[in-house]
Amino acid sequence: MNTDRRSGYSQNYAQDYSTTGPSAHAPNESAVRRPSRELLTGGNRDSQYNTSPRNQTFNAAENNDDPESGWNVYSDFNNAGPRYSSIKATTDGYQALPSPSVKLAAPPIGPPGTDAHNPVELVTVPALGAEWKAEELQAMSKKGKKEEKSYARGEKWKAWRRDQIGICGSWGTRKGIVWGLFIFICILGLVLVFTLPRTPGVYVDRSTPLVNTTLADDPGPKFGRFPATFTFNASLSMRIDTGGNFLPLKFNNLHAQIANLDTSQVIATGDLGPYTVPAKAYAEVLLPLSFNYTAANDTDTTWAAVYNACRNKNQFQDGIRPGIGLSIALYMDIAGLVTKPATSATISEAPCPFELPSTA
C-alpha cells in the first residue's frame, strides 16, 4: 500500500476512480440526484479507506508518454500522477519520530557565514548629522522655555481681555469681574452706611458750661496770692448729638483743653476716657476738668479773672459776680474712624461753679 508524499493519502484510492482524466467520466444523473449513503453520513477513515490489498501496478511512464493528455487535476488523489514515495502508511496515520539518545549542542549564534568565536567585522557607518533645528534647540533651552511661558501668559491675557476665557476656567471673565466688583461695591456701601461711625455734634451748654465736680473725694478749691495759684475740680456740661449714627457711638477718649479767652493761657484740661453714646440720641455728658494755674503774684490778669469770678457775691455792691471768658477745644478719638475730629467753642461770660467764702 503506497501513499502520496504530498497528500498523505493511500494509493488504494485508485480503485475508486478511473485512471483516465475527468473528461472520460461524465457525471451520472441518478448519482447526482441521489447521493450515496456514504456521502450523506460524512467521510471517515473506515468508510473511505479500502483495506483490501492492491494488485494493480502503476507505470508512470505510460501516463506521461502522451503529451496531449495535459495536466490532470485529479492525479494527486487517484494515483494517476507521478510516484514520489513508496512509504507505506500505518493504519492510524501517525508515525512517531525516533528520539535522539545524545543531546545535540545548540549551534553558535552569529551572523550567517561567520564563526561565533571569531570577532564580527562591523561596517563603519558615518556619524549622523544634527537632528534638531536651531529653533527647536532654542525652545529646549532655559531661555526658550521662559519665552514660551511668557508668550503663553500674554496669549491668556489677550484672551481674557477679549472676554474669551476666565481666570478660573469659565469663572472670572472680564464681564463677570466687572459685575462682581459692582455688586461688591454696592454691598460695601450699604454696610458702611449703617456701620461706619459719623462725627457727632458737640454742643457746650452756654448758660452753665461749668458745673461742680462729681468726684467723691474732691479736696475743694484752693486759691493763693503769693505766689498766685488756684486749683479746683469742675465738670464741663455739654451735649452730644448722634442722630446720624445707626449704631452706638464709642469714644476711646474725649480730651478737653480750656484757655482764658483774653490771655489765651491754658487754665484747665480734662479727659472723658472710654465712653459710649447711644445711637440717634442727644445725650448730656459731663466731662471732668482740672483747673490749675500758677503766676508770679495776684496782679496776673488770668489769675485775677478766675478769682473775681469765683469770689463771694457779698463782696460786690450789686451782688453780681463777673463771668470767665473761656476758649474750649475738644479732641475726639472715636472707634472706627481713622481721623480724630476736633471742635471748639468760646464763651464770654461763664459763671464760676462754686463760691468762695467771704474771708477768702
The tens digit of pLDDT for each residue in 270-303 reads: 999 999 999 999 999 999 999 999 998 889 999 9
Regarding whether 322 and 276 lie in a shared domain, the answer is yes
- pLDDT of 310 over the 50 cut: yes
Regarding whether 322 and 214 lie in a shared domain, the answer is yes
Regarding whether 221 and 188 lie in a shared domain, the answer is no
Domain final residue pick, 76, 92, 108: 92
Residue 125 lies in a domain: no
Residue 151 lies in a domain: no
Q: Which residues form the domain of 181?
A: 158-195
Residue 176 lies in a domain: yes
C-alpha distances out from residue 44 to 14, 38, 57, Å: 17, 9, 26
Residue 138 lies in a domain: no
Regarding whether 259 and 205 lie in a shared domain, the answer is yes
Give the pLDDT score at 97. 58
In whole angstroms, what is the distance from residue 44 CA to residue 48 CA? 6
Residue with cell 503529451: 67
Residue 150 lies in a domain: no
Regarding whether 60 and 189 lie in a shared domain, the answer is no
In whole angstroms, what is the distance from residue 279 CA to residue 313 CA? 42
In whole angstroms, what is the distance from residue 23 CA to residue 49 CA? 25
Give the pLDDT score at 91. 53
Residue 29 lies in a domain: yes
Segment 163-183 mean pLDDT = 86
DSSP bridge pairs for 257: 269, 329
Contacts 24+ apart (CB under 8 A), 59-63: 63/19
Percent of the chain with pLDDT over 90: 41
CA angle 353, 356, 360 (to 5 degrees): 155
Domain final residue pick, 168, 195, 222: 195
Regarding whether 339 and 324 lie in a shared domain, the answer is yes
Please, is 256 exposed, middle or buried when counting C-beta atoms within 10 Å of its C-beta (0-12, 13-18, 19+)?
buried
- pLDDT of 44 over the 90 cut: no
Regarding whether 222 and 334 lie in a shared domain, the answer is yes
Q: Is the separation of the CB atoms in 148 and 139 below 8 Å? A: yes
- Look at 6-10, 50-54, 130-134, 161-165 and tell me which has the smallest mean pLDDT: 6-10
* Cell numbers representing residue 58 in the block: 502503476
- pLDDT of 125 over the 50 cut: yes
Regarding whether 71 and 6 lie in a shared domain, the answer is yes
Q: Is the separation of the CB atoms in 237 and 201 below 8 Å? A: no
In whole angstroms, what is the distance from residue 329 CA to residue 318 CA? 33
Q: Residue 315: CB partners within 8 Å, gap ≥ 6?
A: 358
Residue with cell 452756654: 206
Segment 66-81 mean pLDDT = 61
311: domain CATH number?
2.60.40
Regarding whether 214 and 165 lie in a shared domain, the answer is no
Could you tell me the pLDDT band of residue 359, with boundaries at 50, 70 and 90? Answer: confident
Q: State the amino acid at position 263 in one-letter form.
A: T
C-alpha distances out from residue 176 to 165, 170, 173, 183, Å: 11, 10, 5, 11
Q: Is 265 helix (H, G, I), strand (E, B) or coil?
A: coil
The number of residues making up the chain comes to 360
Kindly report whether the peptide bond that precedes residue 197 is cis, defined as omega within 30 degrees of 0.
Answer: no
Q: Look at the chain and report how many structural domains it folds into.
A: 3
Which pLDDT tens digit goes with each residue over 74-100? Answer: 666 666 666 655 555 555 555 555 665
Single out the residue of 232, 359, 335 nearest to residue 290, CA to CA: 232
pTM, rounded to two decimals: 0.54
Q: Is the separation of the CB atoms in 93 and 7 below 8 Å? A: no
DSSP at 169: B
Regarding whether 172 and 288 lie in a shared domain, the answer is no
Which pLDDT tens digit goes with each residue over 226-274? Answer: 899 999 999 999 999 999 999 999 999 999 999 999 999 999 999 999 9
- pLDDT of 170 over the 90 cut: no
Give the pLDDT score at 252. 95
- pLDDT of 62 over the 60 cut: no
Segment 310-315 mean pLDDT = 90
Q: Residue 263: CB partners within 8 Å, gap ≥ 6?
A: 301, 302, 305
Domain final residue pick, 39, 67, 92: 92
Segment 190-209 mean pLDDT = 92
C-alpha distances out from residue 153 to 141, 167, 172, Å: 18, 12, 16
- pLDDT of 217 over the 80 cut: yes
- Look at 53-67, 83-97, 99-113 and tell me which has the smallest mean pLDDT: 53-67
Regarding whether 166 and 63 lie in a shared domain, the answer is no
Could you tell me the pLDDT band of residue 331, with boundaries at 50, 70 and 90? Answer: very high
Residue with cell 480750656: 258
Regarding whether 308 and 215 lie in a shared domain, the answer is yes
Average of per-residue pLDDT values in the chain: 77
Residue 71 lies in a domain: yes
- pLDDT of 112 over the 60 cut: no
In whole angstroms, what is the distance from residue 192 CA to residue 188 CA? 6
Residue 132 lies in a domain: no
Please, is 211 exposed, middle or buried when counting C-beta atoms within 10 Å of its C-beta (0-12, 13-18, 19+)?
middle
* Cell numbers representing residue 128 in the block: 549622523
